Amino acid sequence: MKHFFFPAALVAWGLGGCTASQPTATTSSATSAAVSTTAPPAPAAPSASAVSATDSNTTDEQPQDHKLVIYQMMTRLFGNKTAANKHYGTLQENGVGKFNDINNTALQAIKKMGVSHVWYTGVLEHATMTDYTKYGILLDDADVVKGRAGSPYAVKDYYDVDPDLAVNVKTRMQEFEALVKRTHDNDLKVLIDFIPNHVARTYKSDAHPSGVVDLGAQDDKTKAFVPNNNFYYLPGQSFVVPAGYQPLGPLKGPREDGKFQEVPAKATGNDVFSATPSVDDWFETIKLNYGVDYQNGRQQHFSPIPDTWLKMRDILIFWTKKDVDGFRCDMAEMVPVEFWAWVIPELKKVKPSLVFIGEAYDAKTYKMYIERGHFDYLYDKVGLYDGLRRLMRGEGNTEEITRVWREESRGFSGHMLRFLENHDEQRIVSKEFAGNPRAAIPAMTVSATLGTGPVMLYFGQHVGEPALGSEGFSGADGRTTIFDYWGVPEHQKWMNGGKFDGGRLSDDQKRLHDFYTRLLTLSASSNAIRQGQFYELQDANNLGQEYNKREVYTYVRYTDKQRLLIVANFSLNQTYRPTLVIPREVQQRMGLNPEHAHTYTDLLNQAPAVESLRLTLAPQSAYIFEINEKK
């Protein structure tokens, strides 16, 4: 997109003061509250059940501080300054980011947003159509590669890094090790991917340590399943490339002929036990065998410990000794929980502070993967993300937020990682999602402050990257490609030729970036957000005038050191002017004296303190008030 702009009526994103007036919807600041100093009507006393021992507005979860602030970057794209963006372009045509592009300046710019951890996505060597044969790396067959650059989740060598990311391919591992040290020197921690469920069809490690036996090297390929085999086989059958697959569209890929030699065929990564997977399957990958016989009632063979378990443990130890601080584990639920229950404690013997984050989508298994599997955190995708997405599109209501904390993650919400964007999801500003960066203001505020668990930001999100265009394998779908060589235009404006100062951003983008910085910095530093109790105020305010329970969401987070009131208005176009109620019993829970007057200071929008909760809530806005007794 050549011109990045927002409608004039939505431009006021700056800091807002508090006045006694009530601005109209077209003049209200999108991130500031106009709070009347007129005394509000006396609140009605809450019912006896409102704050009872079995209060449905809160949980008995004991908060623990898990407030990681994670910045996910697609490493290949992050530092790329080339803006050619040719459809199916080569590395030489479209450019590629390097480890060295993530220098001290870049890391400090990330750190200033309140970030504690950087997830370097796509570090491991994976299948690609780029030719690195002169460096001793086998050329992949385009018939089993997705995209010119290739999917980072089709790993070709667990013990190596992507040669694309190195200035000098021969010293690629040293360049990665330097990045790890540089990240730590900038007071940030390092997360990388661990892809345990599947590997590329062309998997062959040429960088493994001496004595390591490669995956599949000792498999009995005459049998469909053997507990100690690393892969699943289809004896007597040959793999067939999906009919009609065109790796580079109208162009020709390396070794492309519609064939790929694999005899016997192996099961495909998304549990397809067929020699003829479809073009919609993960046909470029093969499934790893953890001792589960899928074709015989999922019989489990976990004793003695399967060979794949041991190999995966050794791979994790290898990267842990490279001084990484944690792993985002791809499709963790496709690997038996028994493996995680064994391997995570094994790794924490090596480095107790390691963090394990599981990509998970089945809410019914969340508790099991946390308690039995020992995961530190799991994706909150099908609950909070999906609910917030509907709200951001004007399709849902705030009851979906209530359902998440009250039912879906009750008792372990501090272990749920919240986000609005990642490499799998559509960009907020894309027409396929919300089409408007302001939609993120209430949703991201809830994501960051609802619980004590981690929150994640995807690169480019904080400047409203819309993911326009069809990159190649990744079509025009509202996502930033993970398969192609590409420049990310709005992110490149923030990068500003390597200055990482946002120098080429529009005023609107700078305001958006400032919002994310304020929110994430506050989330990282606030005692109440990091380790406070939670209490929802929907029931307390439901009968109030101008309080639309479907679109406005209100709650408190508090400790004995800090008390916060968080208010979010998800409406796409409606300004609300409620007088909020915090019941006496809730004030007492928070350590406040209901007989005393209080002040309310909007920390998120850096507004002056006021003495009333008669608010003006602009469309798509959010507020974080610190409550103090008036002196």
Q: Which domains does the chain have, with CATH numbers?
A: 69-524 (3.20.20.80), 532-629 (2.60.40.1180)
Query: What secondary structure does DSSP assign to 595-610, as a single string?
Result: TS-EEEEETTTTPPPB
User: Residue 33: pLDDT above 90?
Assistant: no
Based on the number of CB atoms within 10 Å of its own CB, is 30 exposed (0-12), middle (13-18) or buried (19 or more)? buried
Question: Which pTM value belongs to this model?
Answer: 0.92
Residue 232 carries which DSSP code?
-
Cα four-point dihedral sign 510, 515, 520, 522: positive
Mean pLDDT on 143-157: 98
Per-residue pLDDT reduced to its tens digit, 115-145: 999 999 999 999 999 999 999 999 999 999 9
Measured CA to CA, the distance from residue 408 to residue 363 in angstroms comes to 7
Based on the number of CB atoms within 10 Å of its own CB, is 439 exposed (0-12), middle (13-18) or buried (19 or more)? buried
pLDDT at 631: 85
State the virtual CA torsion across 46, 50, 52, 54 in degrees, nearest 10: 170
Mean pLDDT on 145-153: 98
- Answer for the pair 600, 565: CB distance below 8 angstroms, yes or no: yes
Residue 495 has a CB neighbour count (10 Å cut-off) of 28
Measured CA to CA, the distance from residue 395 to residue 212 in angstroms comes to 53
pLDDT at 545: 86
pLDDT at 53: 52
pLDDT at 48: 34
Per-residue pLDDT reduced to its tens digit, 469-499: 999 999 999 999 999 999 999 999 999 999 9
Measured CA to CA, the distance from residue 525 to residue 517 in angstroms comes to 12
Mean pLDDT on 280-284: 98
Measured CA to CA, the distance from residue 537 to residue 549 in angstroms comes to 10
User: Residue 35: pLDDT above 70?
Assistant: no
Closest CA to 465 of 426, 418, 519: 426
- Answer for the pair 51, 586: CB distance below 8 angstroms, yes or no: yes
Residue 13 — pLDDT band, cuts 50, 70, 90? very low
Mean pLDDT on 49-77: 86
Residue 480's alpha-carbon distances to 364, 483, 550, in angstroms, are 30, 9, 32
Q: Which amino acid is at 73?
A: M
User: Residue 148: pLDDT above 60?
Assistant: yes
Residues 375, 376, 378: CA angle, nearest 5 degrees: 75
